[in-house]
Structure 1
């Protein structure tokens, strides 16, 4: 868990906020005119509804650092750190399955912050986690902005595309091989030393010049020892080494799926992604949103907010203004 006051040489200037409501100490950012310290106390109409930015593997809220400040000039911006990442705790008694992260997100957004008219911004595992929240509370979400992620809605053809991605992806092929030869837990249990390699080589950072000592420290700081690496380990492990005794996930409610698919949505895709391959991820998005725009970023990898933050911000602001 990164210390609350850490700013990483001023690159993360946002005030830390915490809640124990999910059963562990969860960190989140809450900025902007509608936030708890804004003139409306979090309830007013200024700037439209809140923007909630969800990170994935192996990142934390730092992923969104270039977007938070500009967005917060007009809107409330909420950025949680998932359990086991960033400034959130890594409790030892949790499974770290995606459904548990959905529970945590629901507690924060509904029970703690009571947000409505949400714009969900989803990246990597933020997509499945955000989709889980969407299916439980479609009435609270206004629009969906996806970037290099998937939205599992139980639609025909989705599982086939995901199986093809796992067979082709650098990241998943490495994870499957490491699990098979018994090195996955050792590799990800030392994520503090390997996180830069994971992001640069297996997922792809297209602009390696952004990788400074501060950047490396920011992404590695949570993973101080093996016990602190449960979050970063369990995301890939539940796909390449699922529990054979686990019950299958329940089919989503068709009415909730229909409500989600009726919302404005967009996919902004970094085309150099080597973890979630565009040739599988774009068709998966179009299964759910056949008429929604897909914007390709040819010079961005798995992390458009790192490779092309100005472009991603401009596209998000345009999406907010026009939907």
Structure 2
């Protein structure tokens, strides 16, 4: 876990906030006017709120930007007595949002932040104002979800590695030392802008995973796929109708090798058939790293226009 006051050479100079509402010490950034419309940014594997460090300044003058670290990631605690399946992260997010009483939420979701955010939306559609996917899947009861997950897993290097590492017993030992192999893990998932790789950047992404006890979140997310333990939330008819009526935007780096556009953008378009889809050529899985200014502009303009 990262020290609460760590800013990584000023690249994440946002005041730390903490809550015990989810049953562990959960960190979040909370920038902008408290009375402003809420933008809730949800990261995935194996990142944390640092992923949104460029988006926060672009929105905080007019919006309240809230960026939690999931259990076992970033500055949040990694309790040893908890499970780290998708449904656990949805439960944690629900307790977090209700504790802060966040409403009129624009969800900005990356990677597994997608199913976590959509799981929350299925439970509380009345709190959602907009849905924004940034290389983040939007599962919402679609009949072909499992088929798409399996088709993607067959061609994704990350999911191929999960299957192989589970088979040979190396998954937990490798991810248990994620702080020392963070670069290879991030590259396997996919980013294209190698100019990003500085000591500060590596420190920011590697520090949360210095000890095996700090890696339970990363291990749990990968292990959950191997074990079939993740449970996607299924919306009721009223929630399904409500979310389908929300403004939505998909931003997708086309060079994503982990969550490939051909398998996941149809999930988005099935849910939001008239919503814009912005495909970014040459941009990888971590579109918020590869093209931060482009993503920030697209998100800002979309919120302003809607």
Asked if TM exceeds 0.5, the reply is yes
The match for 1:236 is: 222
| Structure 1 residue 249 displacement after superposition | 5.9
1:76 counterpart SS class: strand
| Structure 1 residue 322 displacement after superposition | 1.0
The match for 2:74 is: 86
Q: 1:175, 1:187 → 2: CA distance?
A: 11
The match for 1:274 is: 257
CA contact (8 A) 1:158 1:287 kept: no
Q: Give the TM-score of the pair, scaled to structure 1.
A: 0.92
2:12 counterpart SS class: coil
| Structure 1 residue 241 displacement after superposition | 2.3
Alignment of 1:182-261 (within 5 A): 182-200=169-187, 202-243=188-229, 251-261=234-244
2:164 counterpart SS class: helix
Task: Kindly indicate whether residue 292 of structure 2 is the aligned counterpart of residue 309 of structure 1.
Answer: yes
The match for 1:173 is: 160
1:149 counterpart SS class: coil
Task: Kindly indicate whether residue 245 of structure 2 is the aligned counterpart of residue 262 of structure 1.
Answer: yes
| Structure 1 residue 255 displacement after superposition | 1.7
CA contact (8 A) 2:119 2:233 kept: no
Task: Kindly indicate whether residue 274 of structure 2 is the aligned counterpart of residue 291 of structure 1.
Answer: yes
Q: 1:270, 1:205 → 2: CA distance?
A: 9
Q: Give the TM-score of the pair, scaled to structure 2.
A: 0.97
**Alignment partner of 1:54 out of 42, 49, 74:** 42
The match for 1:161 is: 148
CA contact (8 A) 2:180 2:210 kept: no
The match for 2:84 is: 96
The match for 1:118 is: 105
Kindly tell me the number of residue pairs found equivalent between the two proteins. 306
**1:132/1:251 CA distance change after superposition, 3 Å:** closer
CA contact (8 A) 1:175 1:184 kept: yes
CA contact (8 A) 1:179 1:241 kept: no
The match for 2:16 is: 16
1:124 counterpart SS class: coil
The match for 2:32 is: 32
Q: 2:84, 2:218 → 1: CA distance?
A: 9
Alignment of 1:68-87 (within 5 A): 68-87=56-75
